[in-house]
């Protein structure tokens, strides 16, 4: 679940595990304590941090951007690859040094690492005072109190119901134009390389009414873009069990295509994105709904992981190369202007040179606009760790990754070059980093375009024509503007 381009490198870096400090300045009924919240990993973690900030501000905490003035430091963490965890450990060690000078400092870990390592982080690694898994955030005020009274505090219970649907997130992102809405939690897929089903628990969907209400409130506050988040949004289901039994006959059943339609109808000026789609579950219905509404952005992140059917089988992805290509053909047929991005893993267990070549050929066949590319990192307790040997030498993994990245660089460049002379509508997000006389925004396909400022301000839509393209950036000229 991620995006690309200039502005989005911020998010891209966070996917790689870099830290972003987030803060909320005001709290209700303040208790005088300052919270410093640091988030690593995917968009879902950033969305969760907004829920954590909301729960703690309701309990009197104010948040700070300055970790040295904090009374409580919480790190919301990612376990997806080993190096993501290592970065968090290094940071926690630094905070432990600070605790020597300020013994009352509470250091806590949230998110996937908390869930995966549980008490080890307290007892063996001695890096934190508090451990809270992704479904335990309502318990944080109590857990912090426990630490303050001299105990160590842990809650790593996973829930089958928790969706935090009633909690109104404190928006921590910059800009006030684009926000995340979490529509479901957990994952039931059990891809063999992936730790997420163990750290985030069973899949559950959130009440569509609360999702639509959140989108409406965001629009009323001036937001113009929402990203609907889930590990596998295509399996969103409300009021129906996995076996197909209706739960409450007096209520409608809602699937992802229907949910998208409900959110699209909030307002035509509210753009909707979503992440992440799963090739095995993405229906033509979803694509037809996207095609029907202009405000459903023409951009799909469809992780393939590998271009070889045998590798996909070992990965337990639930589709073949042919199935995946059929989904790509459906996207291109139903929405010829839709951009497609992907995730790829190089050097999965047993991957031969031929299988690796299949990944390269699939990439070219699809012509991805963008890709997130990784080499395989074995994760404890996953199916792959139990069943297969992590037998591809690190140098081979890295070499294959470099080859994959080189193919993608060509594809991304070709995609950008094709935009020269094209017209598109961008949603202005802010002032360009390089010049106050320019603003940037994204088009429906999620490509960042820089244009002269004119009178444009964040939240405006602008029709532009693309006049220049470098590898990473597109520039355009204004055709006409509309007030948002």
> Where does this chain bind ligand 5AD (CB under 6 A)?
80-81, 193-194, 303, 305, 343, 345, 374, 376-377, 379
Question: Is-contact 349 314, C-beta < 8 A?
Answer: yes
Q: How many CB atoms lie under 10 A from the CB of residue 77? A: 29
Q: From residue 77, how far is each of 81, 345, 398 by CA, in Å?
A: 11, 21, 25
Q: From residue 189, how far is each of 113, 114, 381, 383 by CA, in Å?
A: 19, 21, 15, 11
Instruction: Return the one option of ligand SF4, ligand 5AD, none that residue 189 interacts with (CB less than 5 to 8 A, by type).
Output: ligand SF4
- CB of residue 336 vs ligand SF4: minimum separation in angstroms? 27
Binding mask 257-286 for ligand SF4 (x = CB under 6 A): ---------------------x--------
Write the DSSP assignment of 58-84 as a string of letters: HTT-EE-S-GGG-SEEEEEE--SSHHH
Q: Does 187 participate in binding ligand SF4 (rule CB under 6 A)?
A: yes
Instruction: Return the one option of ligand 5AD, ligand SF4, none that residue 298 interacts with (CB less than 5 to 8 A, by type).
Output: none
First-residue to last-residue Cα distance in the chain: 27
What is the C-alpha separation between 461 and 180, in angstroms, rounded? 20
Q: Which of 72, 196, 392, 466 binds ligand SF4 (CB under 6 A)?
A: 196
Burial of 412 (0-12, 13-18, 19+ CB in 10 A): buried
Instruction: Return the one option of ligand 5AD, ligand SF4, none that residue 278 interacts with (CB less than 5 to 8 A, by type).
Output: ligand SF4
Which DSSP category does 339 fall into? E
* From 16-24, 69-77, 182-190, 323-331, span contacting ligand SF4 (CB under 6 A): 182-190
Total residues contacting ligand SF4 by CB under 6 A comes to 10
Q: Does 108 participate in binding ligand SF4 (rule CB under 6 A)?
A: no
Question: Is-contact 210 258, C-beta < 8 A?
Answer: no
Output 81 or 356, the one with its CB closest to ligand 5AD.
81
Q: From residue 481, how far is each of 197, 358, 477 by CA, in Å?
A: 45, 45, 11
Output 192 or 412, the one with its CB closest to ligand SF4.
192
Q: Give the residue nearest to ligand 5AD (CB).
A: 343
Strands 184-185 and 237-238: unpaired
- CB of residue 374 vs ligand 5AD: minimum separation in angstroms? 4
Instruction: Return the one option of ligand 5AD, ligand SF4, none that residue 187 interacts with (CB less than 5 to 8 A, by type).
Output: ligand SF4
Instruction: Return the one option of ligand 5AD, ligand SF4, none that residue 232 interacts with (CB less than 5 to 8 A, by type).
Output: ligand SF4
* From 155-163, 189-197, 323-331, 360-368, span contacting ligand SF4 (CB under 6 A): 189-197
Q: Does 227 participate in binding ligand SF4 (rule CB under 6 A)?
A: no
Backbone phi and psi for residue 236, each to the nearest 5 degrees, phi listed first: -55, 135
- Give the binding site for ligand SF4 (CB under 6 A): 187, 189-191, 194, 196-197, 231-232, 278
């Amino acid at each position: 679940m991620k995006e690309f381009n200039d502005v989005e490198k911020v998010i891209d870096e966070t996917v790689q595990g870099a830290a972003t400090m987030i803060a909320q300045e005001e709290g209700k009924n303040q208790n005088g304590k300052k919270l410093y919240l640091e988030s690593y990993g995917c968009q879902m973690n950033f969305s969760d941090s907004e829920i954590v900030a909301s729960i703690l501000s309701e309990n009197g905490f104010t948040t700070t951007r300055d970790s040295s003035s904090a009374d409580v430091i919480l790190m919301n963490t990612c376990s997806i690859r080993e190096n993501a965890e290592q970065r968090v450990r290094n940071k926690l060690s630094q905070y432990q040094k600070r605790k020597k000078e300020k013994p009352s400092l509470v250091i806590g870990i949230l998110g996937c690492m908390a869930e995966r390592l549980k008490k080890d982080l307290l007892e063996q690694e001695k890096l934190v005072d508090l451990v809270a898994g992704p479904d335990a955030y309502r318990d944080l005020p109590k857990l912090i109190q426990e630490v303050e009274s001299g105990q160590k505090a842990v809650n790593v219970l996973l829930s089958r119901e928790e969706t935090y649907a009633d909690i109104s997130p404190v928006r921590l992102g910059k800009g006030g134009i684009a926000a995340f809405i979490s529509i479901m939690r957990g994952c039931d897929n059990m891809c063999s390389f992936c730790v997420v089903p163990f750290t985030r628990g069973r899949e559950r969907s959130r009440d569509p009414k609360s999702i639509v209400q959140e989108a409406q409130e965001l629009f009323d506050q001036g937001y113009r873009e929402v990203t609907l988040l889930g590990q596998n949004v295509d399996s969103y289901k409300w009021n129906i069990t996995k076996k197909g039994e209706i739960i409450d006959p007096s209520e409608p059943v809602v699937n992802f295509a229907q949910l998208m339609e409900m959110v699209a109808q909030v307002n035509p000026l509210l753009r909707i994105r979503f992440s992440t789609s799963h090739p095995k579950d993405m229906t033509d219905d979803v694509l037809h709904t996207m095609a029907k509404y202009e405000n459903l952005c023409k951009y799909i992140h469809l992780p393939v992981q590998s271009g070889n059917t045998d590798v996909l089988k070992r990965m337990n992805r639930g589709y073949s190369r042919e199935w995946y290509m059929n989904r790509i053909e459906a996207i291109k047929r139903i929405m010829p202007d839709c951009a497609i991005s992907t995730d790829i893993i190089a050097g999965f267990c047993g991957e031969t040179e031929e299988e690796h070549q299949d990944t390269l050929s699939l990439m070219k066949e699809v012509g991805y606009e963008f890709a997130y590319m990784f080499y395989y990192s074995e994760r404890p307790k996953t199916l792959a760790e139990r069943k297969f040997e992590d037998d591809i030498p690190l140098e081979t993994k890295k070499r294959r990754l470099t080859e994959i990245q080189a193919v993608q660089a060509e594809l991304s460049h070709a995609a950008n070059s094709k935009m020269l002379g094209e017209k598109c509508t961008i949603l202005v997000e802010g002032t360009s980093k390089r010049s106050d006389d320019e603003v940037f925004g994204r088009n429906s396909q999620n490509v960042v375009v820089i244009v002269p400022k004119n009178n444009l301000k964040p939240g405006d839509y602008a029709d532009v024509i693309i006049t220049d393209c470098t590898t990473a950036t597109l520039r355009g000229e204004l055709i006409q503007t509309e007030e948002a």
